[in-house]
Structure 1
Amino acid sequence: MTDIMLAGVLLLVMFAFLGSGVLIGAGLLGVGLIMIELFTMRPVGASMATTIWSNTSGWSLAALPLFVWMGEVLLRTRLASNVFLGLAPMVRRVPGGLLHANIGGCTAFSAVSGSSAATLLTVGRITLPELRKRNYPDSLSCGTLAGAGTLGLMIPPSITLIIYGLVVEESIARLFMAGVLPGLMLAGLFFLYIFLWGLLSKEGRAMREPAAPWGEWLRGLGQLLPIAGLIVAVIGSIYTGIASPNEAAVVGLLGAFALSALQRTLTLETFVESLSGAVRTTSMIFLLLAGAAVLTLAMGFSGLPRSLADWVGGMDLSPTMLLLVLMVFFIVLGCFLDGMAMILLTIAVLEPMVRAAGIDMIWFGIFVVLVGEMALITPPVGFNLFLVQSLSGRSIGFVARAAAPMFGLMLIGAFLLIAFPQIALWLPNLLTGR
């Protein structure tokens, strides 16, 4: 069977699984098993058992459930409300007003959560009612929340970056370093958009509020100190080389428990709820990892990734043109899959051709995650759109239109990342002396 026919069969089987409503991880696993059974001479059971065990039992994976649990603990504290209350006095007089607190809250919480969904839900439950109370436009409140909520995929400790690093066997610490400036760049684009709205539009100028007194500023700073301390403890320990990502995850989890205890929200009920939520999320991620590992093995046996890489190489595309083609491919795929599933589904096929093109895999991980963020606000199955819909009560069409400017800003961010790769590579190269 030719590689084109094999790729066609793979796509048909994949869409059949996904269209049937099964879990994405189970769909990946099913496609991999069918490929091994039909197109190779390998024993299915032994291949599956060995591959799944080797890809889900590595010591590097220990950071993943710990960061997930940390986010679940923080989800049940008053940390998000404190972030909003701390930021509100600082941005009240700035053009765009409290919409900046919406973006800033998501940015700050992303640095201790690692999960886009946890970031959006935690911040959105606090900010949306406050913004509505002050008559901010729902379109901007929902749009900025949907867009800024995606930053949990990029800003460390990103669960998606951990998974990418494990799949392509790259340093998770370097990926964390590489994700900082691109994440802040996206947040800066969101801030600039709201600033210009507040400065240039009649509605935005009418929303300007009086400046907060100095006493309120100081109270706000005090409310921001806990999350600032946790960010420094978790991320700073990795960047300075004091702790590995696994050790930093332990520090973060203990810090989350300490904050919860200080806020008197650490009860047996919240402990059980956070642990249960972490188990559910981690189990879903591990199923995705297992399915992607089996599918990767099957495609490796078939020779499809290498054949595809040779085919693309024969087209003589420049690295920039290859990235633009992949961006369009990811945007289309993101209409049907979430960012994490999209990365796991495609990376086994793309890795050989990307390496052959001479593209840095650390940089490519940031690029893929950025495009994966765009998938979270791309209809018809953009996950963040449904989360914002559940929080706001608005229709999915309204939320998708509200998030469209954020999608455009992310597209600008992707072009900037391609044009200036040092946005991602400068910090890891500086801190590791490369």
Structure 2
Amino acid sequence: MSEVLAVVIFLSTLFVLLGLGVWVGTALLTTAIVGMWLFTSTPIGDAMAVTIWSEQSSWTLTALPLFIWMGEILFRTKLSETLFKGLAPLLRGLPGGLLHVNVGASAVFAAISGSSAATVATVGKMSIPELRARNYPESMIIGTLSGAGTLGLLIPPSIAMIIFGVTVNESISKLFMAAMIPGLCLALLFMGYIVIWSLINRKTFKPIFDDVGSEPLGKRMFDLLPVLLLIGAVIGSIYSGVATATEAAALGVLGSILLSLAQRTFTLSSFSESIMGSVRTTAMIMLILMGAGFLSLAMGFTGIPRALAETIGAWNLSPFALIAILTIFYIILGCFLDGLSSIVLTMAVIEPLVRSAGFDMLWFGVYLMIVVEMAQITPPIGFNLFVLQGMTGKDMGFISKASFPMFCVMGVFIIILAFFPGLATWLPELLSK
């Protein structure tokens, strides 16, 4: 009964604070303080200091601000224009035409940013006006962009994957390896949906291509070459074992600065803006990690994680049933919390449960990224939806409806991943031999 009372108090405090608009990290810290005060005699200040220091002192976390900074620098370059001009002639021949550019460009930018919102904003600022000018349906423009933009959480280097790895003490490099093939498969699944949609609507779907294919193939590939080289340097250095995730992130920052100089978009103003943007994002993530770490400690004193794990374990669920329940749980949670908060808040309870069920944590990390991706496009708190609302001027209902097919595609991919776990585990096993 005491565990039930503790759960009610924790959840009530947390959701009241979130409902009042308090920052997520601050709400988590406050909830933890309330729980420590009510349920333990441990000195709150001492426990908070030790927990926060341990949460922030991981060397692996140094990759986080560097990858964020790399994305901030590239966000201020002509990268979106380069991606559109380079990919459009190559993809226009597929059923669905230039809608595939939203997916292809998002996959490319995801491989050098690690942020879902940054991917949507960067690709969208170029593709939305171009696709509108060519008579593409607004719902498909928005839907494909919101869905494909979530690839920033899955395709390495992923900020959310770094947070997960630090939280559960798994190798960031191996997690990146595990996510590569599923990320590409999910992108292909998005493109498959576009193909099916275009074939069904081929009588009414009449896009205008203009001069999108006028430039020679060599020129198109030359436009993409710097971006592809940057991706190869960052990801390749990790997979080959030449560099750690942190060292690869530093290499990515250097490469993004050189790319910015080559495109003549590097200015002192844009440089300082990229630094401040990365500082703000990193500070926000670190505050969430502080709050989640301290809240996990507070819940540990009450015995909630152990009691919940024992309760679910007593149900003797099959692995598929457990994954189904966790999927529903994270989708509901994603309606109220952003993806990073969902990960760090729940791992204290979910990690021992998943390990005891025998799941490979590399596979589970990939699965979790996809579920969190789904949360990025579920109202009322879906970051990608907010970004698109600001870019398109459409109401949240229209954007949510347009994004729903991509939500379903991700749901289908979770089923595929459950039946074929080798999609996530094959590459790490191969490269570790």
Q: Normalising TM by the smaller chain, what interval? A: over 0.9
Residue equivalent to 2:219: 219
Q: Could you tell me which residue of structure 2 aligns to residue 158 of structure 1?
A: 158
Counterparts of 1:208 and 1:349, CA distance in 2: 52
Q: Are 2:85 and 2:212, in contact at CA under 8 Å, matched by a contact in 1?
A: no
Between the aligned partners of 2:429 and 2:297, the Cα distance in structure 1 is 32
For residues 217-249 of structure 1, give each alpha carbon's deviation from its aligned partner in whole angstroms, at most 9, with x where no partner exists. 221111111110011000010001010001000
Is the 8 Å Cα contact of residues 97 and 208 (structure 1) preserved in structure 2?
Answer: no
**Aligned-partner residue type, residue 238 of structure 1:** I
Number of the residue aligned with 1:20? 20
1:319-371 Cα offsets, whole Å, 9 max, x none, are 21111111111111111111111111111111111111111111111111110
Give the conservation status (yes or no) of the 8 Å contact 1:146–1:377. Answer: yes
Is the 1:74–1:260 contact (alpha carbons within 8 Å) kept by the matching residues of 2? yes
> Percent same amino acid at aligned positions?
52
1:407 paired residue number: 407
| Equivalent residues in 2 for 1:29-40, closer than 5 Å | 29-40=29-40
Match in the other structure for 1:129:
129
Match of 2:350 in 1: 350
Map Cα deviations across residues 76-124 of structure 1 (whole Å, 9 max, x no partner): 0011210110001111222111111111111100000011111110110
Instruction: Report what 1:331 is aligned to.
Output: 331
Tell me the residue number matched to 1:285: 285
Which SS does the other structure have where 2:156 is aligned? Answer: coil
TM-score w.r.t. structure 1 length?
0.97
State the AA in 1 paired with 2:344: L
Q: Distance in 2 between matches of 1:37 and 1:166?
A: 28
Structure 2 match to 1:2: 2
Which residue of 2 is the match for residue 239 of structure 1?
Answer: 239
Partner of 1:366: 366
Alignment partners' CA distance in 1, 2:245 and 2:204: 42
1:144-185 per-position Cα deviation (integer Å, ceiling 9, x unaligned): 010011110111110000000001111111111111111111
Q: Tell me which residue corresponds to 1:303.
A: 303
Structure 2 letter corresponding to 1:398: F
Distance 1:16 1:316 in 2: 34
Per mean C-alpha deviation after superposition, the further-off stretch among 191-200 and 209-218 is 209-218
After alignment, is 9-18 or 271-280 more displaced? 9-18
| C-alpha contact 2:88 2:213 (8 A) present in aligned 1 | no
User: Tell me, what secondary structure is at the counterpart of 2:384?
Assistant: helix
Q: Give matches, 1:259-270, under 5 Å.
A: 259-270=259-270
User: 4+ residue runs of structure 1 moved beyond 3 angstroms?
Assistant: 208-215
Are 1:48 and 1:294, in contact at CA under 8 Å, matched by a contact in 2?
Answer: yes
Matched position secondary structure for 1:202: coil
Counterparts of 1:187-226 in structure 2, within 5 Å, are 187-203=187-203, 206-207=206-207, 209=209, 215-226=215-226
**1:411-430 residue pairs with structure 2 within 5 A?**
411-430=411-430
Indicate conservation of the 8 Å contact 1:93/1:211, yes or no.
no
Q: Distance in 2 between matches of 1:68 and 1:209?
A: 35
Most deviating of 213-222 and 15-24: 213-222
Structure-1 separation of matches of 2:204 and 2:352: 49
Q: Is the 8 A contact 1:99 1:144 kept in 2?
A: yes
Task: Report if aligned partners of 1:84, 1:126 keep a CA contact under 8 Å in 2.
Answer: yes
Q: What letter matches 1:145 in structure 2?
A: L
For residue 206 of structure 1, give the secondary structure of its aligned residue in structure 2. coil
Check the 8 A contact 1:93/1:208 in 2, yes or no.
Answer: no
Q: Secondary structure in 2 aligned to 1:377?
A: coil
Q: 1:212 to 1:276 in 2, by over 3 A?
A: closer
Provide structure 1 residue ranges, at least 5 long, that are not aligned to the other structure.
Answer: none
Higher mean alpha-carbon deviation, 376-385 vs 140-149, is at: 376-385
**CA–CA distance in structure 2, aligned partners of residues 243 and 69 of structure 1:** 18
1:127 Cα deviation after fit: 0.2
User: Which moves more between the two structures, 199-208 or 170-179?
Assistant: 199-208
The alignment status of 1:89 with 2:89, answered yes or no, reads: yes
Paired residues for 1:49-68 under 5 Å: 49-68=49-68
Paired residues, what number? 433
Q: Partner residue of 2:175?
A: 175
Seen in structure 2, the aligned counterparts of structure 1 residues 275 and 334 have a Cα distance that, compared at 3 Å, is: same
C-alpha spacing 1:58/1:310, structure 2 compared with 1 (3 Å): same
